[in-house]
Structure 1
Amino acid sequence: MNIRRLIPVAAVTGAVLLGLTACSSPDGSDHKDDGRLDVVASFYPMQFLAERIGGEHVEVTSLTKPGVEPHDLELTYRQTGRLGDADLILYLKGIQPAVDEAVKLSEAPNTLDAATLTTLEDHGTEVGGHDHGEDEHGHDEHAHEHEGDGAGADPHIWLDPVRYAEVAKGVGKNLEKTDPAHAADYRENTDALVGELGALDTAYRTGLKNTETRTFITTHSAFGYLAERYGLTQEGIAGIDPEAEPSPARISDLHSIAEKEKVTTVFFETLASDKTAKTVARDTGLRTDVLDPLEGITDASKGDDYIEVMKSNLAALRTALGAK
C-alpha cells in the first residue's frame, strides 16, 4: 500500500503546539462559535455517524475531502493545528496513519477511536481462504499494512452493518457525555440510525440467503467483515491496495477459482482506477461492476449516503452471485 507521509513528525508537533490555525476549521475555513459542537471526522464513515447522530447540535468537518483515497491522506498544517481545539475527534485507527499520528500529537481532550467500540478481527494474509502467495523475495505481496496496536487487524468495520451499529452507539454515548444538554436528541438520533442499520442487515441476510455462488472477486480486499457476516467468500486481487498490479500467478489462481466457484464478476471501486479489474476480467472472461467500499462519497457514487450506497452494493452482489 502506498502510504505517503509528507509532513514530518517535528512539523506536525510544531503545528499543534503553536496552534497555527486556532480560528480555522480542519478544512481550512473560518470557524465561528455558534454553540454547536466542533466535531472533526477522519473520513466519510466517521463523518456520516457524526452528522446523523449529532444532527443540528454539531458542526462536522472531515479531514478527507470527497474523492481523496483515505489511505493516502496528506494532512496540512492547518488541519493538524486545529485538532487540539475540536470538541470531539472521531477517527478509526489503522486506516490513516497520518491521522493516527496527528491525533496522538494533538493531545486533544476528547478523541474517539471507532475501533475501540466493536471487535476487530485479523482477516490475515489469506483472503477468502486462499493464500495470495509471495513475490520473488519471499515476501507476502498482499498482507495488510496497518500500524499500531493490533497490527494486521482489518479496520473495514463500517462495511458490516452490525459492527457499524455498535460504533454508532458508542458515538452517541460520547456525544451525550460531551453535551449533556442535548443528550435526549443524541439518543433519539442514535436509535433511529441503529434501526436503519438493523433494517439494512435484514435486507442483506434476506437478499443473499439463496445464491448460485457464494464467492466474489474484488480489487480491494475491504469486504472481509461483510463476507463473514453473510456467509460469502471474498477473493481479493491485490489485498488492501485497490490499484496494485496482480501477479501472473494470482491471475491464474483467480481463473481457477472463478471456474470452480462459478464466479461471474470482478468488482472495482469508485475512488480507484478500474484498470486492474478490467485486466483480470479480460484474462478470466468475467464481467466488471462496482462494489463500493464507502471510503468517500462522490458524484460517481451509486447513492448520496452510506445507506443508499450499501443498498446499491447489495443489488450488485445479488446480480453477481445469482441471487434467487
Structure 2
Amino acid sequence: MTARSVPRLLAAVTALLALGGVAACSDEGASADPDRVDVVAAFYPLQFLAERIGGDAVRVTNLAKPGAEPHDLELHPRQVGQVVDAELIVYLSGFQPAVDEAVEQNGGDRAFDVAGVQPLLDAAAGGHEHEGEAGHDEETGGKDPHLWLDPTRLATVGDRLAERLGRADPDRAADFTARAQAFRADLAKLDTEYAEGLKTCQRREIVVSHTAFGYLAARYQLEQVGITGLTPDSEPSPQRLAEVAKEAREHRATTIFFETLVSPKVAETVAREVGARTAVLDPLEGPPADGDYLSAMRANLRTLRTALDCS
C-alpha cells in the first residue's frame, strides 16, 4: 500500500461504517493497483472516454451497471467506498444526484466534472420546448447533460481529461496527451461522417421518446420532437401525446424513436397513432449491446439516414 492511499482508505472505512457497510469495504484497499491511476467513472460514456485516454495506465470502475438507467443510480456502500478511494472521479454534475452527493461529500480535488469543460446547452436546444417537459430540468439547472452525443464536444472533454490524468500521473502525461489526440482524430472522422450523411435528407425532424438528442440535433441541423423531457421514464400527458402525434403527421415522420434502457410502449403508442414504425436511437447513457461508443454512434447514423430518407 502506498502512503498516499492510507488517508483515502481510512476515509473509505469511516464512510462505509457510517452506512453500515463494514463487510463491503474489507478488501477495498487491496484491490488498488499502484502502477495505474484508479479512476471512477459515473456512467458509460465517461468510462469509455477514461479508458481511451488512459489506456493501460488507468483502472476504470463504472458506477452505473449495464442495463440500468444511469439517471436513477443509487450508490451502495461499496460504491461510496470506490468514490472515496479513487484517485480521479469523472462525473457530470446534475446528471446523477447520488453521484453529485457522493462527490460533494468525498470528492475533494480528485473530482473532474465534465459539465465544466464547456457551457452546457439549454434543455430545449435542438428542438421544441413544451409544457410538462421540465421534469429533470430542475436537477440540471435547465441544462441538457447529454454532451457526448456531439463528437466535437466529447473531443474537447478528452483533451481536458488528458491534462487531469497528467496531473495524477506526471510520468505518463505525454502518453495521455497522445491518446487524446488520437481519440480526437477518431471523433473528427465520426463528425465528418455525420455531417456528410445527414446533409441531404427529405426530413430533418426526429421524434424521440425523451429529449436526449439536443447536442446531436444542434450539431447536424436536426430538430428533435420529444415525447417527454430530459427524464426518460416520465409519463407524458394525453395532451402531450396528442401534440407529438400532430407534429409527427405535420412533418410526415416515418419513424418514432425509442431507447434501449426505457420501455418502448409510449413510442409505440405514438407510432400506431400516426402510422409510423419504431426504431432504436441510442442516447448511449449505458454501454451498447455490441461494440462501443463509436460503433453505436455509427449505428445511430444509419438509423437516422433511413428514417429521414437521406440520399
Is the aligned partner of 1:307 residue 2:311? no
Paired AA for residue 320 in structure 1: A
How much has 1:144 moved relative to structure 2? Answer: 4.4
In the alignment, the residues of structure 1 paired with residue 245 and residue 107 of structure 2 have an alpha-carbon distance, to the nearest angstrom, of 50
Q: Distance in 1 between matches of 2:221 and 2:77?
A: 44
Q: 2:126–2:222: 8 Å Cα contact kept in structure 1? A: no
Cα shift at 1:253: 1.6
Aligned to 1:266: 256
**TM-score (norm. length: structure 2):** 0.89
Checking the alignment, whether the CA contact within 8 Å between 1:219 and 1:243 is kept in structure 2 is: no
Tell me what 1:43 maps to: 43
Q: Deviations over 1:214-266 (max 9, x none)?
A: 00100021000110111000000011232333222222222221222121110
Percent of aligned positions that are identical: 48
Shift of 1:185: 1.1
- Give deviations 1:131-155, integer Å, cap 9, x for gaps: 423xxxxxxx21042456x611111
Specify whether residues 85 and 108 from structure 1 end up closer, same or farther in structure 2 by C-alpha distance, changes over 3 A only: farther
**Who is 1:158 aligned against?**
148
- Match in the other structure for 1:69: 69
Cα distance, 1:16 vs structure 2: 5.9
- SS in structure 2 at match of 1:323: coil
Paired letter, 2:184:
V
Match of 1:132 in 2: 130
Residue correspondence of structure 1 range 179-190 to structure 2 within 5 A: 179-190=169-180
Cα contact 1:91–1:114 (8 A) shared by 2: yes
Distance 2:60 2:37 in 1: 8
Alignment match of 2:136 (pick from 145, 167, 173)? 145
C-alpha separation between the residues in 1 aligned to 2:70 and 2:306? Answer: 28
| Deviations 1:7-38, CA, capped at 9 Å, x for gaps | xxxxx99626869527428xxxx614341110
The question of 1:212 aligning with 2:165 is answered no
Contact 1:227 1:233 in 2 (8 A): yes
RMSD over aligned CA atoms reads 2.2
* Distance (whole Å) between structure 1 residues aligned to residue 117 and residue 135 of structure 2: 21
Contact 1:22 1:82 in 2 (8 A): no
- In the alignment, which of 219, 228, 235 is matched to residue 218 of structure 2? 228
1:175 aligns to 2:165 (yes or no): yes
1:294 and 2:284 equivalent? yes
Q: Structure 1 pair 277/319, CA: closer, same or farther in 2 (3 Å)?
A: same
Give the Å deviation of 1:280: 1.0
TM-score by length of 1: 0.86
Aligned residue among 236, 239, 260 for 1:246? 236
Residue aligning to 2:304: 317
Per the TM alignment, residue 79 of structure 1 is displaced from its structure 2 partner at its CA by 1.1
Indicate conservation of the 8 Å contact 1:88/1:112, yes or no: yes
Query: Unaligned 5+ residue runs, structure 1?
Result: 1-11, 134-140
- Contact conserved, 2:89 with 2:107, CA < 8 A, in 1? no
CA distance in 2: counterparts of 1:255 and 1:284, whole angstroms: 6
- Tell me, what secondary structure is at the counterpart of 1:219? strand
Deviations 1:270-315 (A, max 9, x none): 11111111111111211100000001115xx3x4110000000011
SS state at 1:192 partner: helix
Is it true that 1:101 corresponds to 2:101 in the alignment? yes
Question: For the Cα contact (< 8 Å) 1:85–1:108, is it kept in 2?
Answer: no
Offset from partner CA, 1:24-70 (integer Å, 9 cap, x none): 28xxxx61434111000000011001101100000000111111100
Given that 2:126 and 2:217 are in contact with CA atoms closer than 8 Å, whether structure 1 keeps it comes out as no
Counterparts of 2:268 and 2:305 in 1: how far apart (Å)?
20
Which residue of structure 1 lines up, in the alignment, with residue 92 of structure 2? 92
Aligned to 1:123: 123
Letter in 2 for 1:242: P
- Structure 1 residues 172 and 197: alpha-carbon distance in aligned structure 2, compared to 1, 3 A threshold: same
CA distance in 2, matches of 1:267, 1:210: 20
Q: Which amino acid aligns with 1:243?
A: D
Partner of 1:15: 15
Aligned partners of 1:184 and 1:270: how far apart in 2? 38
Does the 8 Å contact 1:160/1:226 carry over to 2?
Answer: yes
CA distance in 2, matches of 1:314, 1:152: 27
| Equivalence for 1:79 | 79
The corresponding residue for 1:114 is 114
The residue number in structure 1 matching 2:9 is none
CA distance 1:14–1:153, change in 2 (3 Å)? farther
Amino acid at match of 2:286: G
